Structure 1
Amino acid sequence: MDAIADEAGGKRARGLDRAFEILDFLRQKRQALKPNEIAAQIGAPRSSVYELVNLLLRNGILEFSGGDGRVYLGRKLYFLGAAYEHHFDFTRECEAALERLADETRETAQFCMLDGNKYTVVRMREGARPFRISTDIGQSVPIPWTASGRLLVTHMSDAEILDFIPKEDFRLPDGEWLDPQAFLAEVRQAEADGFFTFNSIVDSFTHCFAVPVMDEGQAAATLCLVTPKADGLANRDRYIDCLKAAASGLSHAPKRG
């Protein structure tokens, strides 16, 4: 009987893993898809994907969108997110910090975290410039492409970092490969300095700044500025000081309500 119970529990766990995989896939694709398209692109059996999609539809986690049986993330996820934000004061503190940074620097300010083994922008406040410099909120980006990525893995050993980051993520947008050892050296320098800045790998016109938001001795998140290259270099010290001051106010969060 114990073996049967273990097998049933294992199937439920695999079903949950697959359901989360479907949700995360739709989040990354940012478009409604048919269940058979989801199954093909995540490499899952169509029968199990259809079963899970129907379960998620019944519970409002997915909704039909765009016709032809396409599905996308459901509004219940919004209410779950709203409940999370109500429980944690951290979100409101973060929004205030980003607003201050954008006002003080006129640059685009971002709050960033790891999402699995990728980097993502969680919150953003655009600066006062007439043109837009930003990354879409929630978009997954390889860790080595980002200034924040050098700070968000500092709590790991070098071997853990190389095991954590997919090898293909060291291929840069222009097709060149970033030497993993060079990346590790930048991680350790960022850890010692308490910040990291560089000319963006993704956008040749911008300069990026990041400082850690500390929680229990490690970088749980980062505050960032994304600036035009010339302005970023000209105001480097001031921008770093602004970021550090803002991050210090967040580093004792989250506060539980």
Structure 2
Amino acid sequence: MAAGAEDIASRRTRGLDRAFEILEFLRARRQPMRPNEIAVAIGAPRSSVYELINLLLGRGMLEYHDDDGRVFLGRRLYFLGTAYSDHFDLIRESEALLTHLATETRETSQLCLLEGNKYTVAKMHEGLRPFRISANVGELVSIPWTASGRLLVSHLSDEEILDFIPPEDFVLPRGEKLDPAQFIAEVRQAAAEGFFTFHSTVENFTHCFAAPVYQTDGTCVATLCLVTPKEDGLRNHEAYVASLVGAANDLSERLGYLATPKQVEHSNRV
């Protein structure tokens, strides 16, 4: 009897894991797909994928997109996301700071997080200048491609960083390979300096700024970022870093993080 109950529970867990895999796959692909295409892409039996998709359709988690049977994320997920956003302090508390940063610098400001072993933009406020970037909120990006990535893994040891980031993610968008040792050195530099900036590896002609947002135990749980035209970022580098670090420190304090005297001194110096 107990063994049978455990088997049922195990099957339900596998089914739930597979359902989340389908939702995450569609989120990453960002386009409607047929159930058989999803099954092939995630390497799952078509019968189980069809069954789970029908369940998700029935609960509004997925919706049909056209007459060809393509499915995509459903509107019920939007309402769940809205409820999460209203409750989660980090997202809500960042909104005014992002607006302030974008107004003060005229540049695009972002709140960035880790999603699994990838980087993503959780919130974005467009700058006032005509310059625009192509970043999409929720798009998954390799950690080594980003300024924020140097800060978001800074609580890990060197070995943990190499275990956490897939080896293929050290291959940059233009095909060159970033030496993992160089990346780790930049992680330690970013943690020591309290910010990181560099010319974007993803967008041409842009310079990226990132400053850490800490939770109570001192772990960097997010970053505040500025994405600027390369020349403007270099010209206003000191002012942009000061604005960004100040806003990130403010958000960290709202999350209950108490800065050390050394960090306060460093922030004032910036």
Q: TM-score, normalised by structure 2?
A: 0.91
Runs of 4+ in structure 1 off by over 4 angstroms are: none
SS of residue matched to 1:12: helix
Distance in 2, matches of 1:183 and 1:58, equals: 46
Distance in 1, matches of 2:197 and 2:40, equals: 40
Partner of 1:80: 80
Distance in 2, matches of 1:253 and 1:13, equals: 37
Offset, 1:58: 0.9
Q: Which runs of 5+ in 1 are unaligned?
A: none
Offset, 1:130: 1.3
Partner of 1:13: 13
C-alpha offsets along residues 150-196 of structure 1, whole Å, 9 cap, x if unaligned? Answer: 00001111111100000000011111110001100100111111100
Offset, 1:245: 1.2
Paired letter, 2:28: Q
C-alpha offsets along residues 15-42 of structure 1, whole Å, 9 cap, x if unaligned? Answer: 1111111001111111111111110111
Distance in 2, matches of 1:254 and 1:61, equals: 31
Partner of 1:236: 237
Distance in 2, matches of 1:195 and 1:124, equals: 19
Partner of 2:112: 112
Partner of 1:250: 251
Asked whether the 8 Å contact 1:213–1:247 carries over to 2, the reply is: yes
Partner of 2:219: 218
Q: Does 1:196 align with 2:196?
A: yes
1:1-257 to structure 2, matched below 5 A, reads 1-216=1-216, 217-253=218-254
Asked whether the 8 Å contact 1:63–1:71 carries over to 2, the reply is: yes
Distance in 2, matches of 1:189 and 1:131, equals: 29
Distance in 1, matches of 2:4 and 2:162, equals: 38
Asked whether the 8 Å contact 1:134–1:226 carries over to 2, the reply is: no
Q: Which runs of 5+ in 2 are unaligned?
A: 257-270
Offset, 1:90: 3.3
Q: TM-score, normalised by structure 1?
A: 0.96
Asked whether the 8 Å contact 2:150–2:186 carries over to 1, the reply is: yes
Offset, 1:254: 5.0
Distance in 2, matches of 1:253 and 1:51, equals: 44
> After alignment, is 80-89 or 197-206 more displaced?
80-89
> After alignment, is 190-199 or 89-98 more displaced?
89-98
Offset, 1:93: 1.9
RMSD between aligned alpha carbons?
1.3
> After alignment, is 144-153 or 84-93 more displaced?
84-93
C-alpha offsets along residues 86-128 of structure 1, whole Å, 9 cap, x if unaligned? Answer: 2234333211111100000011111100010000001101111
Distance in 2, matches of 1:154 and 1:248, equals: 17
Distance in 1, matches of 2:70 and 2:176, equals: 37
Asked whether the 8 Å contact 2:131–2:229 carries over to 1, the reply is: no
C-alpha offsets along residues 126-151 of structure 1, whole Å, 9 cap, x if unaligned? Answer: 11111312411111000000000000
Aligned length: 255
Asked whether the 8 Å contact 1:88–1:254 carries over to 2, the reply is: no
Distance in 1, matches of 2:134 and 2:158, equals: 30
SS of residue matched to 1:186: helix
Distance in 1, matches of 2:13 and 2:40, equals: 21
Asked whether the 8 Å contact 1:215–1:253 carries over to 2, the reply is: no
What is the percent sequence identity of the aligned residues?
65
SS of residue matched to 1:251: helix
Asked whether the 8 Å contact 1:209–1:224 carries over to 2, the reply is: yes
Offset, 1:12: 1.1
